[in-house]
């Protein structure tokens, strides 16, 4: 799982395209009775082996205000604790690092991946969407988003427009989402590629930083038959500003011995200040007599050199009496960023413009397998629970000298459990 700060409202674009073709008013609205609130609640638990743990409660509410006009609210709280890889390489001796605040240190044992045990965060996010028909075949979804954590603030908005054909068998979609983010790292944002300070020493800092994110989406959704639906999306996005992770560092390695340089052991990472990304997405749904299959594929590429493929498959088995099972399999593979470096050679330290040892930017494969169970108590309420296991692995980079016996890209295993309850009120 890639736990990233400031994931803003780009997901609102994809969410807006998931509505069914030709939305119709429900029976309650048709008879002039006030429509009820529809609630979806869930709590997710995510835990990596000896690393990060996260608890995320989510509450979504939806209400029909008028014929085909809806208000959608979403509240999310993330609580993250545990230890996170700081980017340094393991060594055959204990290593001591300064915390981001500069007020204390922590020590990693010999031959172990350096983990920062001070990793903790709480994020609250609120989004509001307003769906409104413009005419018989055109409708708009307008959204606003705000999230806040102790060192990161994000504010954004989105607008998506969907046009149905006269026969309601096809929908064209276009949307835009934009956000402005304020990054306020503990101790201030460090100067990129500057040395990590000793404990008690103030790091050279740029204080706070900002970034902007703009995404455009174009899509088409086609009814293939009474039981089949195909959706195709193209997304292009631009990130500008401070894109570096202020808490990640790199080890500076002697080009001959493979050991860290005693007088300059660690440098803060640096990433380019702009990123252009693109993706294509395909989703196919098909209902058999009762069961339903959901298959998606996504190809992503950017000007950092990262390419990724994601295949996601779900199959819902109807068991009768409102019960169902839904197995889930997901496969993700990506290539590394051009500036990804598991360590920084001493010969490169004075000339490199961008470098990061963050494993999320490296060659990586992630496999997720899971199973969900659901029961519909009535047309107004449903309970679901799912459990999944995830394995993340990467290619070992070139090693020499003191690095030969070290694991520079360890596997990460995680479990995911989520329980949800939907109801009307």
Q: Within a domain: residue 2? A: no
User: Over the chain, what is the mean pLDDT?
Assistant: 91
Residue 390's domain is classified under what CATH number? 2.40.160
Q: Within a domain: residue 184? A: yes
Residue 221 has pLDDT above 90, yes or no: yes
Q: Within a domain: residue 267? A: yes
- The number of residues making up the chain comes to 425
Give the per-residue pLDDT at 201.
67
Q: Within a domain: residue 4? A: no
Domains: count for the chain: 1
For 65-104, give one letter per residue: b (16+ CB within 10 A) or e. eeebbbebebebebebebbbbbbbbbbeeebebbbbebee
**Is beta strand 323-334 parallel, antiparallel or unpaired with respect to 307-320?**
antiparallel
Q: Residue 361 — φ and ψ, nearest 5°?
A: -105, 5
Q: Give CB contacts under 8 A, 24+ apart, made by 104-109.
A: 104/199, 105/199
What is the number of other CB atoms lying within 10 angstroms of the CB of residue 123? 20
pTM of the model: 0.90
Q: Within a domain: residue 166? A: yes
Give the per-residue pLDDT at 423.
95
Give the per-residue pLDDT at 31.
43
Give the per-residue pLDDT at 62.
97
Q: Within a domain: residue 3? A: no
Q: Residue 286 — φ and ψ, nearest 5°?
A: -145, 130
* Distance (Å, whole) CA 126 – CA 176: 19
Q: Residue 11 — φ and ψ, nearest 5°?
A: -65, -20
Give the per-residue pLDDT at 229.
97
Q: Within a domain: residue 374? A: yes
Residue 13 has pLDDT above 70, yes or no: no
What pLDDT digit, counting tens, does each position of 248-297 carry? 999 999 999 999 999 999 999 999 999 999 999 999 999 999 999 999 99
Residue 171 has pLDDT above 60, yes or no: yes
Q: Which domain holds residue 71?
A: 10-424
Query: Which among 124, 31, 26, 29 is positioned nearest to 75, based on CA atoms?
Result: 124
* Distance (Å, whole) CA 208 – CA 228: 50
Q: Within a domain: residue 413? A: yes
């Amino acid at each position: 799982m890639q736990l990233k700060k400031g994931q803003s409202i780009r997901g609102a674009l994809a969410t807006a395209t998931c509505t069914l073709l030709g939305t119709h008013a429900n029976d309650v609205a048709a008879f002039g009775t006030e429509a009820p609130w529809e609630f979806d609640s869930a709590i997710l638990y995510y835990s990596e082996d000896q690393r990060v743990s996260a608890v995320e409660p989510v509450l979504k509410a939806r209400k029909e205000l008028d014929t085909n006009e809806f208000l959608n609210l979403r509240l999310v709280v993330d609580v993250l604790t545990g230890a996170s890889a700081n980017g340094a390489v393991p060594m055959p001796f204990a290593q001591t690092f300064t915390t981001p605040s500069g007020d204390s240190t922590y020590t990693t044992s010999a031959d172990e991946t350096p983990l920062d045990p001070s990793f903790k965060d709480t994020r609250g996010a609120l989004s509001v969407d307003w769906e409104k028909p413009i005419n018989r075949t055109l409708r708009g979804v307008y959204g606003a988003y705000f999230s806040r954590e102790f060192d990161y603030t994000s504010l954004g908005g989105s607008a998506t427009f969907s046009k149905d054909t006269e026969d309601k068998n096809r929908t064209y979609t276009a949307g835009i989402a934009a956000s402005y983010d304020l990054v306020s790292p503990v101790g201030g944002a460090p100067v990129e590629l500057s040395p990590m300070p000793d404990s008690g020493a103030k790091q050279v800092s740029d204080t706070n930083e900002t970034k902007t994110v703009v995404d455009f989406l174009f899509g088409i959704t086609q009814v293939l038959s009474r039981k089949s639906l195909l959706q195709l999306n193209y997304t292009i996005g631009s990130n500008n500003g401070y894109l570096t992770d202020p808490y990640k560092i790199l080890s500076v390695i002697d080009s001959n011995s493979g050991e860290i340089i005693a007088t300059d052991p660690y440098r803060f990472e640096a990433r380019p200040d702009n990123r252009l990304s693109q993706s294509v997405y395909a989703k196919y749904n098909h209902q058999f007599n009762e069961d339903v299959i959901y298959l998606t594929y996504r190809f992503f590429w950017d000007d950092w050199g990262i390419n990724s493929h994601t295949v996601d498959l779900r199959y819902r088995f109807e068991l009768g009496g409102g019960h169902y099972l839904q197995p889930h399999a997901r496969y993700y593979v990506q290539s590394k960023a051009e500036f990804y470096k598991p360590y920084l050679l001493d010969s490169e330290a004075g000339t490199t413009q961008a470098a990061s040892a963050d494993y999320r930017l490296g060659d990586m494969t992630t496999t997720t397998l899971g199973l969900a169970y659901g029961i519909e108590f009535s047309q107004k309420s449903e309970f679901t629970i799912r459990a999944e296991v995830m394995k993340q692995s990467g290619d070992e980079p070139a090693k020499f000298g003191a690095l030969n016996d070290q694991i520079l890209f360890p596997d990460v295993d995680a479990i995911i459990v989520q329980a949800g309850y939907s109801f009307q009120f």
